[in-house]
């Protein structure tokens, strides 16, 4: 159940009451806890609902099995049982780890997701994937476990740092590029925007972006075919993140990935040059200043090939035909690109590797 624009805490309490859960465990990271969790917990107490708040240190580097174990120990210590509900209050890291915990605690309990970052609203909270990172790679251990409700409220965004805002904007642009030309044109008219911009516009871009992701996931929940188009910009994006040892933010890496992967599509004669120009301009307009680095130290292709989710070292790309249209062939949505083409495009951008 997706709930839009209602007062988030009272809405969650209403659901919790309706489902008659015996107790509530609010899971939040160290940043979000001081901003929002305390208010939530005092509301739960006022509503006479047994509750406990579990905090973990903020950051993707803490999305680990060891953090999950600590959360589970806290749940057991508080006396949480099968009739409890977990509430994830935070960004994508919180949603992923709280959802994963809910999926295995007492063999699986309900959870409610209240995303507080733009990226988690338009991307991470949707599609039922939960999980943690391991030293071998990101998101390699996890489950599919949908929350009973996702409560979307733009009010949280007021406190979101600029870089985190841009991380969400990159995914929103990606959604427009792979699926919806009209939405892309709308973004061309309204960007750049920030958390304090016109509320109607913010709501519109969040809502449309969610609709796009939902419609794709609905067709292919387990990512066997079309869901993979959501990885547009991410083959190169992940390699950039990895080669920078995660110093470059996900949004900036994906923005660069979008450009490079669009250039690959152009090199293969699929994507028109005029659309490529528009795409680059929109990303710059949105706030991504230096999309491509000038000096490089390591080989991005190496990082693409060693991605743990790749099969047999093959590098596959989502290709685009135009703004709003991906290329597909016989229900295939990702394609191996000749190394020669890849090198040619990367060299053109000076993207052999990156230096910071």
3-state secondary structure (DSSP) of residue 302: helix
Nearest in space to 268 (alpha carbons), one of 352, 339, 341, 332: 341
Q: Which one of residues 112, 160, 169, 301 is an interface residue with ligand NAD (CB under 6 A)?
A: 160
The least distance separating ligand NAD from the CB of residue 89, rounded to whole angstroms, comes to: 9
d(CA 356, CA 244): 7
Q: Which residue lies nearer to ligand NAD by CB, 242 or 280?
A: 242
> How many residues does the structure list for the chain?
356
| Contact between 93 and ligand NAD per CB under 6 A | yes
Of 63, 129, 138, 175, the catalytic one is 129
Of 138, 231, 241, 316, the catalytic one is 231
Question: 3-state DSSP: the chain helix, strand, coil percent, rounded to 5?
Answer: 55, 15, 30
Of 223, 278, 325, 352, the catalytic one is 223
Lookup: tokens for 18: 């309706």
Residues 238 and 249: beta-carbon distance below 8 Å: no
Restricted to residues 32-91, the positions that interact with ligand NAD (CB under 6 A) are 32, 35, 58-60, 63, 90-91
Q: How many residues bind ligand NAD (CB under 6 A)?
A: 29
Q: Which one of residues 8, 25, 26, 31 is an interface residue with ligand NAD (CB under 6 A)?
A: 31
Of 138, 227, 242, 252, the catalytic one is 227
The least distance separating ligand NAD from the CB of residue 300, rounded to whole angstroms, comes to: 20
Question: Cα–Cα distances in Å, from 162 out to 117, 118, 192, 195, 258?
Answer: 11, 11, 12, 8, 20
Residues 166 and 251: beta-carbon distance below 8 Å: yes
Contacts of 85 (CB under 8 A, 6+ apart): 16, 19, 21, 23, 24, 25, 109, 110, 111, 112, 148
Q: Which one of residues 67, 80, 84, 164 is an interface residue with ligand NAD (CB under 6 A)?
A: 164
Lookup: tokens for 100: 């994963």
The least distance separating ligand NAD from the CB of residue 163, rounded to whole angstroms, comes to: 9
- 223 in active site: yes
Site string for ligand NAD, 137-156 (x = CB under 6 A): -xx----------------x
Identify the DSSP state of 350.
T
Q: Which residues are catalytic?
A: 107, 129, 171, 213, 223, 227, 231, 234, 238, 250
Residues making contact with ligand NAD (CB under 6 A):
29, 31-32, 35, 58-60, 63, 90-94, 96, 116-117, 119-120, 123-124, 127, 129, 138-139, 156, 159-160, 164, 167
């Amino acid at each position: 159940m997706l709930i839009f624009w209602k007062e988030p805490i009272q809405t969650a309490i209403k659901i919790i009451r309706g489902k008659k859960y015996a107790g509530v465990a609010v899971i939040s990271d160290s940043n979000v806890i001081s901003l929002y969790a305390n208010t939530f917990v005092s509301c739960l107490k006022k509503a006479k609902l047994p509750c406990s708040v579990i905090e973990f240190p903020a950051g993707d580097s803490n999305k680990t099995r060891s953090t999950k174990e600590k959360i589970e120990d806290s749940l057991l210590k508080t006396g949480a049982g099968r009739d409890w509900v977990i509430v994830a209050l935070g960004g994508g890291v919180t949603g992923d780890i709280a959802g994963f915990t809910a999926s295995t605690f007492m063999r699986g309990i309900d959870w409610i997701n209240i995303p507080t970052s733009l990226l988690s609203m338009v991307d991470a909270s949707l599609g039922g994937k939960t999980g943690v990172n391991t030293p071998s790679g990101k998101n390699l251990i996890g489950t599919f476990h949908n929350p009973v409700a996702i409560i979307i409220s733009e009010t949280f965004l007021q406190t979101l740092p600029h870089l985190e805002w841009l991380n969400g904007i990159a995914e929103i642009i990606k959604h427009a590029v792979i699926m919806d030309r009209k939405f892309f044109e709308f973004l061309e008219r309204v960007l750049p925007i920030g958390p304090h911009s016109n509320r109607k516009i913010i709501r519109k871009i969040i809502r449309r972006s969610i609709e796009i992701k939902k419609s794709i996931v609905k067709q292919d929940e387990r990512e066997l075919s079309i869901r993979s188009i959501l990885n547009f910009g991410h083959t190169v994006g992940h390699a950039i993140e990895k080669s920078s040892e995660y110093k470059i933010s996900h949004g900036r890496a994906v923005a660069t990935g979008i450009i490079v992967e669009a250039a690959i599509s152009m090199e293969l004669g699929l994507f028109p040059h005029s659309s490529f120009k528009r795409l680059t301009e929109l990303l710059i307009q949105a706030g991504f200043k230096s999309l491509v680095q000038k000096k490089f130290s390591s080989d991005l292709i190496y990082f693409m090939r060693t991605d743990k989710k790749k099969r047999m070292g093959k590098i596959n790309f989502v290709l685009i035909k135009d703004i709003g249209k991906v290329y597909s062939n016989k229900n295939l949505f990702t394609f191996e690109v000749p190394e020669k083409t890849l090198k040619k495009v990367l060299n053109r951008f000076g993207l052999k590797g990156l230096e910071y």
